[in-house]
Amino acid sequence: MIIETLTSPVILFFILGFLAAAIRSDLAIPEAFAKAMSIYLMAAIGLKGGVEVASTGFSIDLATAAVSGILLGFTLPVLAFFLLQSFGKLGAIDAGAVSAHYGSVSVVTFVTAIELLTVQGIRPDGFMVGVMALMEMPAIITGLLLARAYSKRLEENNPAGGGPGSNLMHEVLTNGSVVLLLGAFIIGFVAGTDGFAPIKPLFDVGFKGVLCLFLLDMGLIAARRLLETRKITFRLATLAILLPIINGAIGTVVGSLIGLDPGSAAILGVLCASASYIAVPAAMRLALPQADPGIYLAMSLGITFPFNILFGISLFAALAKFLG
C-alpha cells in the first residue's frame, strides 16, 4: 500500500516540489494561482461530500462520527501538550500552541487522503467533510486552556483574560477554509445529484490534476520552511513524527469501534494525525502571540505534513482494513 501511494502522481508531484526546494531550485508557483487552486479543491471536496450525504441521507454513522471527532479534538491536544513539555522540553505557551495544531486538522492532508483511499477502493463516506470542519475549533480551545493554565507569564501579560484571545471564536468560525468547506457542503446537499450534474465536469474531472499541482507547491513550501528554521531540536522532530502516528492510530481505532467502514475509519485517523498549518496558526497569532511560529509551523508543515502524505495515510488505511 505504501508503494502504491508513493508511486501515485499526486504524491510524486509533492516529492518533486520537496526535492526542488531542497536543492534550492527557483521553481515556484505564483501565490495567486496557489490560492485559486486551494479554493477550487476545498469547493470540490465540500460539494461532493454534500451531494453524497443528500443521496444517502443522515445516518447514525454521521452522528457518531461527528461526536467522536469533536471529543477527539478536545482530548488529543492534552496528550500532545504533556509530551511536548516532558519530552520536547517546551514551555507552556509554545507547548499549548503546538498541541492545538496536533489536535486540529489539515484540509490538504484530508483532500489528498480522500483521493488516495478512493484509488485503493476504500472511499470514505461524504459526511466526513462535515466531521473535519467540526474538529477545527475544539483543539484550539484546548490548546489555549492548557497554555493559560500552565503559564504564569501568560497570566501576567493578560491578567483579565481578554486581549488577543477575546476574538478567537470569530477568527476561527470565519476562517476562509471553514466557511468555504461548510458552505460548499451545504450547497452540494441542497443541490443533490441532479443539481450537481451540470457542474460535475469542472469539479470532478479536473480534480486530480489540480491536486497534483497544488501538492507540488506544498512540497516546495514544506521543504523551504524546514530549511529556514533553526528552532527544531531532535526531540521536537521526533515528536512531529510520533504524534501523528499515535493520534492517527487512536482515531482509526475509534472509527472502527463506532462502526465506520474502513475508508471512513482511515479518514478519521488521518484527521486526528494531521496537524493544521493554516487555520490554527492564524488563531495562535491572534490568541497566543507569545508563542514561536518557527516551532509550530516547522513541526506541522515541515515534518508532519510530509510524513502523513508519504506514509501516514497508507499506515492508517492498512490499520483500518485490518480492524475492519
Is 303 within a domain?
Answer: yes
Is 205 within a domain?
Answer: yes
Model pLDDT, residue 231: 79
DSSP output for 151-219: -HHHHHH-TTS-GGGGGHHHHHHT-HHHHHHHHHHHHHHHHHHHHHGGGHIIIIITHHHHHHHHHHHHH
- Reported as a single tens digit per residue, the pLDDT across 222-246 is 888 888 877 789 999 999 999 999 9
Whether pLDDT at 119 is above 90: no
Phi and psi torsions of 275, nearest 5°: -110, 125
Whether pLDDT at 163 is above 50: no
| pTM: predicted TM-score of the whole model, two decimal places | 0.81
- Reported as a single tens digit per residue, the pLDDT across 127-158 is 888 888 788 778 888 888 888 888 765 555 55
Task: Give CA–CA dist 176/305, Å, rounded.
Answer: 20
CATH of the domain at 10: 1.20.1530
Whether pLDDT at 164 is above 80: no
Task: Give CA–CA dist 227/203, Å, rounded.
Answer: 35
Task: Give CA–CA dist 275/114, Å, rounded.
Answer: 16
Is 239 within a domain?
Answer: yes
Model pLDDT, residue 323: 92
Band (pLDDT 50/70/90 cuts) for residue 160 is very low
Whether pLDDT at 254 is above 70: yes
Task: Give CA–CA dist 34/37, Å, rounded.
Answer: 5
Model pLDDT, residue 175: 62
Model pLDDT, residue 1: 63
**4 by DSSP, 3-state: which?**
helix
Model pLDDT, residue 269: 96
CA distances from residue 314 to 8, 160, 311, 321 in whole angstroms, order as listed: 12, 46, 6, 10
C-alpha cell of residue 222: 514544506
Is 273 within a domain?
Answer: yes
Measured distance between the N- and C-terminal CA atoms of the chain, rounded to whole angstroms: 16
In total, how many domains does the chain have? 1
Is 24 within a domain?
Answer: no
For 60, counting Cβ atoms within 10 Å of its Cβ (0-12 exposed, 13-18 middle, 19+ buried), the class is: exposed
Domain interval for residue 311:
2-16+36-323
Q: What is the CA radius of gyration of the chain?
A: 19
Is 25 within a domain?
Answer: no
- Rounded mean pLDDT of the chain? 85
Is 72 within a domain?
Answer: yes
Model pLDDT, residue 135: 84
More confident residue, 253 or 46: 253
**Region 305-316 average pLDDT:** 92
**Region 144-173 average pLDDT:** 61
Is 203 within a domain?
Answer: yes
